[in-house]
Amino acid sequence: NDTHSDVFIHLGNHDDGSGRGTDKNCPLDGFIKLEEYKEIYRTKQLLNGENRNNGSLYYYKDYPEKKIRLIGLYTEDITETITNKQGFLKYTRWLTHTIQQEQMDWLMNVALKNVPVDYHTVVIGHCPLYHGWTDNGSKQINHEFLKNVLLAFQRGTSFIGTSGEVDFPLSINCDFTTQGPRKFVGFFSGHTHQEMIDDWDGIKNVSCLHSIDIANSLNANTIKEDAHTIISIDTKASRVNLIGYGRATNRS
């Protein structure tokens, strides 16, 4: 693009069309599939020089001049073939927010490994880590396991755990003791349609505002209808400044 800036697309929970009816009546051929998104987003072409897992929707990229490792997660990581009793899709991306074993293995053993000691690591995804709050009707699965992996990375420790989720099993065995503690900036997301900064055992969880002001029709076709957030990371001061545009506010 004209800005010569990297652009990464993250699959959101509304994008595949699975939420057009309810969470119980999406047919197996009634939504856009993972392999189609890989073609749409051209993930196997590595347009930004990033690292992916065989064209996966998740990735990481190092920015040596900024001492930043950027990790992008695929937070609507469903299984596209599990059906409910009526034969419809049991877990839709619209209402299911999780990551599965293959992506977790890549995160633990690739993206969070061999991080230089002077780097700061940033994780982004569509859906935030769910901690102490709910989203009516949706399923937030295995988020605590993801938090514990990030916490072990940050502290330079290890974590072992097994999920009891039947359809979303996880077996976690990560060890960052040899690598040692690393600077973890935070987990940045959208999805919630609100601004939020949460702290979960030392993991900063930052949610940014959406760009459609459904609640206030008076903002239609004005700058206030829009909302963008620039995330400015001061690595020397260990400080993040969130610069708001439109309805988005300035935070830090």
Residue in the block written with tokens 């700061």? 120
68, with CB counted inside 10 A (0-12, 13-18, 19+), is middle
Q: Which two tokens stand for residue 45?
A: 């072409």
Give the Cβ contact number of residue 187 at 10 Å.
24
In this structure, what DSSP letter does residue 16 have? T
Tell me the residue ranges of DSSP E strands in the chain.
Answer: 51-52, 59-63, 68-72, 96-97, 120-124, 139-140, 158-162, 171-175, 183-189, 196-200, 203-207, 227-234, 239-246
Decide if 93 contacts 16 (C-beta within 8 A). Answer: yes
Between CA 73 and CA 4 the distance in angstroms is 23
Structure confidence at residue 221 (pLDDT): 86
**Measured between alpha carbons, how far is residue 55 from residues 37, 94, 145, 161 in Å?**
10, 22, 24, 28
Q: Which residues lie below 8 Å from residue 90, measured CB to CB, with a gap of 6+?
A: 82, 83, 84, 167
Question: Residue 187: which of 237, 151, 136, 163 has the closest Cα?
Answer: 151
**What residues form DSSP beta bridges with 230?**
243
| Whether this model's pTM surpasses 0.85 | yes
Question: Residue 193: which of 176, 179, 205, 207 has the closest Cα?
Answer: 207
Do β-strands 203-207 and 183-189 pair in parallel, antiparallel, or remain unpaired? Answer: parallel
List average pLDDT for each run of 10 residues in the chain, which is 252 residues long.
87 91 80 96 96 98 97 97 93 95 98 98 96 83 97 98 96 98 98 93 95 82 90 96 95 97
| Long-range contact set of residues 201-205: C-beta below 8 Å, sequence gap at least 24 | 201/147, 201/151, 202/151, 202/154, 203/129, 203/147, 203/150, 203/151, 203/154, 204/240, 205/128, 205/129, 205/131
Q: What are the two backbone dihedrals, phi and then psi, of residue 2, each rounded to the nearest 5 degrees?
A: -65, -25
Q: Which residues lie below 8 Å from residue 35, measured CB to CB, with a gap of 6+?
A: none
Decide if 61 contacts 55 (C-beta within 8 A). Answer: no
